[in-house]
Amino acid sequence: MRGGKVFLTTDYARTVEINLGSVQGIDFDRPVPLILDDGTEKKITKLTLGQPDFRKIKEVNPPIPQEWSFSASAGYQFQEGNSNTGDVNARATIVRFVKDEYRLTADGSYVWGTKKKDSGAKERTANRGAASLQADLFWFRDIYCYFRSEIGYDRKQDLERRLENGPGFGYELFRVNGTFLDLEMGASYIDSKYNTDIDKDRKDHGTYLRIAESGELALTSILTLMHSASYKPKLKGFDDYFLDGSIGLLQPLFQSLPDGHLLRPVQQPPGLREEEE
């Protein structure tokens, strides 16, 4: 309970918001923390509208805050027969939460691929990597502003390096039980440097519009489907653009809570029973 609303979560439905004025009382199956506006905290097992300091209540039974999250994925694909190819890919994501207002996300990915020619020699089909860092500041419960930086390269496309920096706004469309979807829009300044046999140290730079989505779908308690996509047209003429997308399975390796225990976070505490008038 917070902000004058009761949040009720079940195993079979999304989180339900109930106005506190529609609830006569709440019983808990165990002692839960009650936090007042002045920061005072105590344990309660029952909450009624007529109890002392009711109007000074800030939160009751708040969700356990998650501080760290680390997930990784790796894969290998090969084909033999008419063509002999092999591809290796890896990705890792670290998320840091600071209270309920800040989120810091670091992400890195790498792809390597080869193809065996008829002569027996191997030809490189992919050699690219990228790393990004994004800081989010939540203004409201679902709305945040961000600043992100990204660096990447693609040896197959003669891209020596690409730097991207820019701010924007985001909206967390929903988040429940390990599944979420974020939508973002902002601006990015992108500076690219190419190194080709014909044109050494060719550079390209400009300001781009950035429209992106990212999210995760919890398939099981230990397996998550990750997806992201971004469209970045150049503001000058909209003739040039970048279009990126990825999808894959992530394995959450650990999630850390403030008390140091390692476990999966509880989105909303269990044990809540509503008593209507």
Query: Can you give the pLDDT at residue 272?
Result: 37
- Give the SS3 label for residue 40: coil
- Give the SS3 label for residue 81: coil
Residues of the chain with pLDDT under 50: 257-277
State whether 217 and 84 are in the same domain.
yes
Query: Can you give the pLDDT at residue 12?
Result: 57
State whether 138 and 172 are in the same domain.
yes
State whether 123 and 214 are in the same domain.
yes
Helices (runs of H) and strands (runs of E) counted in the chain: 0, 16
Cα–Cα distance between 223 and 229 in angstroms, integer?
Answer: 20
State whether 176 and 227 are in the same domain.
yes
Cα–Cα distance between 36 and 54 in angstroms, integer?
Answer: 9
State whether 29 and 88 are in the same domain.
no
Residue among 123, 105, 106 at smallest CA distance from 114: 123
Q: What is the pTM of this model?
A: 0.66
> What CATH number did the domain enclosing 224 receive?
2.40.160.20
Asked if residues 189 and 205 have their Cβ atoms less than 8 Å apart, the reply is: yes
Name the domain count of the chain.
2
Burial zone of 116 (CB within 10 Å; 0-12 exposed, 13-18 middle, 19+ buried)? middle
State whether 40 and 100 are in the same domain.
no
State whether 186 and 216 are in the same domain.
yes
State whether 91 and 25 are in the same domain.
no
Query: Can you give the pLDDT at residue 233?
Result: 93
Residue pLDDT, tens place only, 221-237: 777 888 889 999 998 87
State whether 100 and 50 are in the same domain.
no
Residue with tokens 């905290």, as numbered in its chain: 41
State whether 239 and 266 are in the same domain.
no
State whether 138 and 191 are in the same domain.
yes
State whether 145 and 181 are in the same domain.
yes
- Phi and psi at residue 236, to the nearest 5°: -85, 95
Burial zone of 43 (CB within 10 Å; 0-12 exposed, 13-18 middle, 19+ buried)? exposed
Query: Can you give the pLDDT at residue 123?
Result: 82
Q: Which domain holds residue 23?
A: 5-64+260-276
Single-letter residue type at 88: V
Q: β-strands 241-256, 84-98: how paired? A: unpaired
